[in-house]
């Protein structure tokens, strides 16, 4: 049928497009409605994060890490604090580690609840599913505000601990929230899990085989959705994660649906971890910060010995790593962020090839990116 042979069409999605989750561009080559090739283009939100850190003292970078993945400032803080602690050889009291893990797991729940919501948003179910996730997120943000003073830009972690102990009203609110969470998980799954439209839109879409996922060094729920049980909390436990019992949910196909299901399951695992933390928190020894660094002047004047350190945490989006080189001065000689959103985005072309244009935004939504972290 040479008369009807179609011509390839190049379409730009973004950089200003509501479904690209920020300023992100995709160069899509289409044959009809089918994607032949897709090239992700980033860099529109570049703001010198790493260079800025190299010109700032160590503690001055802490508030900037909030702005990497602005949904999960707590885990970004955690990764950076961990890297500096490793570099300077700072001990963290047990209670501080528990508080840190508690914040990280709350972050994971809020991230996954909204990530699923936003992905359903991209499918066209405009904001209904998202509101369920947003409601729980608001409550968790209330907790963050109590502890840190800010809802999103928490700036809560300090080297050797956290900035202040949990306020008295924190745990009662937390306990109440925990009582409601299982009902939320059930309801959220009831709403979305078996929904025929969602299954039809996500099942078999954007398959990322496990060897391809591994070769792109994809991490987080995207990798686990492809069936690789790799989780930094298990592979290289940090803080108190070595003592906590939890399962790693993995997918079997590696499509959009699996990634969504993995996120559902991870929220329940985070809930399990939170229960264990809540049980042990009152008995955890030590204060909220290492006494040697409790004075802010010590944080400010921190000069780690010359050397290098890499620390990674399991952020809700994947492996978030911070690499620091110190020359013994008050400013890092080199500072590098290994951002999961950025690396998970690289196989987007491989995932979208052969699918319809309408599926591209769903696949992008299932990767769960935050442009603040992609571009830095």
Site string for another protein, 275-314 (x = CB under 8 A): ---------------------xx--x--------------
Smallest separation, CB 9 to another protein (Å): 34
Write each residue from 336 to 355 as x if it is in contact with another protein (CB under 8 A), else as -, in one continuous string.
--------------------
> Which of 93-101, 104-112, 150-158, 355-363 is the region at the interface with another protein (rule: CB under 8 A)?
150-158
Give the pair of three-digit tokens for residue 140: 């968790």
| Closest CB 131 distance from another protein, rounded Å | 9
Of 247 and 327, which has the nearer Cβ to another protein?
Answer: 247
The conformational region for residue 162 under phi > 0 = left, psi -120 to 50 = alpha, else beta, is beta
| Distance in angstroms (rounded) separating the CA atoms of residues 248 and 265 | 9
Q: Contact between 146 and another protein (CB under 8 A)? A: yes
Q: To which residue do tokens 């690499």 refer?
A: 323
Q: Which residue has the tokens 């951002």?
A: 339
Residue 195, interface with another protein (CB under 8 A)? yes
- 13 touching another protein, by CB under 8 A: no
Q: How many residues bind another protein (CB under 8 A)?
A: 68
Under the criterion CB under 8 A, does residue 80 sit at the interface with another protein? Answer: no
Contact flag: residue 329 with another protein (CB under 8 A): no
Neighbours of 334 (CB within 10 A): 13
Q: How far is the CB of 60 from another protein (least distance, A)?
A: 4
Q: Rounded to an integer, what distance in angstroms lies between the CA atom of residue 32 and that of residue 196?
A: 26
Q: Which two tokens stand for residue 194?
A: 């078996």
Residue from 138, 242, 305, 328 touching another protein (CB under 8 A): that is: 138
Nearer to another protein, 25 or 105 (CB): 105
Site for another protein contains 60 (CB under 8 A): yes
Binding-site member from 23, 36, 150, 284 for another protein (CB under 8 A) = 150
Residue 287: CB atoms within 10 Å: 15
State which residue, 42 or 156, has the beta carbon closest to another protein: 156
Q: 106, 140 in Cβ contact below 8 A? A: yes
DSSP string, 51-78: HHHHTS-HHHHHHHHHTTSTT-HHHHHH
Contact in structure between 108 and 101 (CB atoms under 8 Å): no
Strands in 25-31's sheet, in edge-to-edge order, are: 8-13, 25-31, 34-41
Q: How far is CA 151 from CA 266, 273, 282, in A?
A: 23, 22, 25
- Closer by beta carbon to another protein, 28 or else 181: 181
Residue 199, exposed/middle/buried by CB under 10 A (0-12, 13-18, 19+)? middle
Whether the CB-CB separation of 373 and 69 falls below 8 Å is answered with yes
| Residue 91 vs 247, nearer CB to another protein | 247
314-to-62, 101, 145 alpha-carbon distances in Å:
18, 11, 22
Pick between residue 46 and residue 300 the one whose CB is nearest to another protein: 300
* Nearest Cα residue to 93 out of 261, 253, 247, 288: 288
Q: Taking CB under 8 A as the criterion, which residues in 205-244 touch another protein?
A: 210, 227, 229, 234
141 binds another protein (CB under 8 A): no
Q: Which residues bind to another protein, rule: CB under 8 A?
A: 56-57, 59-64, 66-67, 128, 135-136, 138-139, 142, 145-150, 153, 155, 163-164, 167, 169, 173, 176-180, 183-184, 187, 190-197, 199, 203, 210, 227, 229, 234, 246-253, 257-258, 261-262, 264-265, 296-297, 300
């Amino acid at each position: 049928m040479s008369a009807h042979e179609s011509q390839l069409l190049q379409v730009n999605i973004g950089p200003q497009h509501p479904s690209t989750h920020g300023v992100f561009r995709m160069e899509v080559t289409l044959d009809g409605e089918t994607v032949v090739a897709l090239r992700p283009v980033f860099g529109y939100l570049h703001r010198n994060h790493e260079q800025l850190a190299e010109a700032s003292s160590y503690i001055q970078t802490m508030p900037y890490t909030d702005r990497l993945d602005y949904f999960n400032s707590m885990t970004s803080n955690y990764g950076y604090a961990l890297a500096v602690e490793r570099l300077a050889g700072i001990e963290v009291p047990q209670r501080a580690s528990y508080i840190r893990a508690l914040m990280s797991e709350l972050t994971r729940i809020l991230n996954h609840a909204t990530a699923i919501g936003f992905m359903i948003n991209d499918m066209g179910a405009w904001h209904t599913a998202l509101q369920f996730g947003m409601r729980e997120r608001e409550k968790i943000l209330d907790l963050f505000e109590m502890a840190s003073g800010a809802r999103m830009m928490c700036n809560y972690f300090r080297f050797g601990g956290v900035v202040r102990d949990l306020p008295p009203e924190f745990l009662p609110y937390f306990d109440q929230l925990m009582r409601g969470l299982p009902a939320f998980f059930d309801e959220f799954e009831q709403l979305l899990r078996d929904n025929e439209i969602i299954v039809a839109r996500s099942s078999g879409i954007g398959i990322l085989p496990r060897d391809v996922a591994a070769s792109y060094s994809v991490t987080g729920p995207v990798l686990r959705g492809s069936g690789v049980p790799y989780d930094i909390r298990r592979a290289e436990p940090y803080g108190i994660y070595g003592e906590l019992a939890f399962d790693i949910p993995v997918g079997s196909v590696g499509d959009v649906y699996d990634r969504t299901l993995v996120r559902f399951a991870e929220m329940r695992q985070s809930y399990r971890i939170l229960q264990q933390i809540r049980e042990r928190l009152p008995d955890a020894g030590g204060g909220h910060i290492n006494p040697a660094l409790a004075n802010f002047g010590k944080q400010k004047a921190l000069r780690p010995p010359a050397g290098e350190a890499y620390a990674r945490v399991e952020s809700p989006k994947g492996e978030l790593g911070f690499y620091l080189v110190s020359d013994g001065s008050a400013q890092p000689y080199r500072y590098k962020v290994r951002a999961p959103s950025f690396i998970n985005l690289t196989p987007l072309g491989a995932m979208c090839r052969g699918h319809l244009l309408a599926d591209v935004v769903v696949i992008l939504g299932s990767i769960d990116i935050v442009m603040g972290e992609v571009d830095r």
